[in-house]
């Protein structure tokens, strides 16, 4: 990542928009990776946006998952420090908000801390 992942303005500048979707590279900070609890929290968050397609891709192994499926998220094998591409359909402020919320959850360094509100 070529930006400070803890500064909202840097994160927003790092968002790429292409082909009707918005993308943000993030990194898993949880020492246990994206296991069942963070997967469930991500699914709970992403299912709020029924009008959006949301995907997570592990840039280490190329595996892509629908972010609205716990099983699919767990199959990407996103361990601690894994680089993750977050993809949200749309190039608007709504897509930016979703990207920030998911990025915020991936940046949590405690297995018990899942925070979607870091940038609000």
Average pLDDT score over residue span 6-10 = 91
Cα angle 16-22-26, degrees, rounded to a multiple of 5: 70
Instruction: Please tell me the predicted confidence (pLDDT) of residue 83.
Output: 97
Q: Is residue 12 part of a domain?
A: yes
pTM of the model: 0.92
Average pLDDT score over residue span 62-76 = 97
pLDDT digits (tens, 9 = 90+) for 90-99: 999 999 999 9
Q: Is residue 115 part of a domain?
A: no
Helix spans in 1-120 (H): 8-14, 36-46, 70-75, 93-106
Domain count of the chain?
Answer: 1
Question: Residue 15's closest CA among 5, 24, 26?
Answer: 24
CATH code: domain of residue 91? 3.30.1340.10
**Would you state the structure tokens that stand for residue 46, as one six-digit string?**
């992403």
Q: Is residue 42 part of a domain?
A: yes
Q: Is residue 119 part of a domain?
A: no
Domain that holds residue 74: 8-106
**Would you state the structure tokens that stand for residue 22, as one six-digit string?**
């918005």
Q: Is residue 19 part of a domain?
A: yes
At how many degrees (to 10) do helices 36-46 and 93-106 cross?
170
Q: Is residue 112 part of a domain?
A: no
pLDDT digits (tens, 9 = 90+) for 14-63: 999 999 999 999 999 999 999 888 899 999 999 999 999 999 999 999 99
Q: Which DSSP symbol is given to 78?
A: -
Q: Is residue 54 part of a domain?
A: yes
Q: Is residue 53 part of a domain?
A: yes
Average pLDDT score over residue span 67-84 = 96
């Amino acid at each position: 990542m070529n930006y400070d992942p803890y500064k909202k303005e840097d994160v927003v500048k790092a968002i790429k928009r292409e082909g009707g979707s918005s993308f943000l590279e993030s990194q898993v900070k949880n020492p246990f990776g994206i296991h069942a609890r963070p997967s469930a929290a991500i699914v709970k968050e992403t299912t709020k946006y029924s009008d959006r397609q949301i995907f997570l891709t592990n840039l280490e192994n190329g595996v892509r998952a629908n972010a609205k499926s716990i099983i699919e998220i767990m199959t990407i094998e996103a361990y601690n420090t894994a680089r993750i591409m977050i993809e949200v359909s749309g190039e608007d402020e709504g897509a930016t908000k979703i990207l920030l919320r998911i990025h915020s959850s991936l940046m949590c360094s405690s297995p018990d801390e899942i925070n979607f509100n870091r940038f609000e």
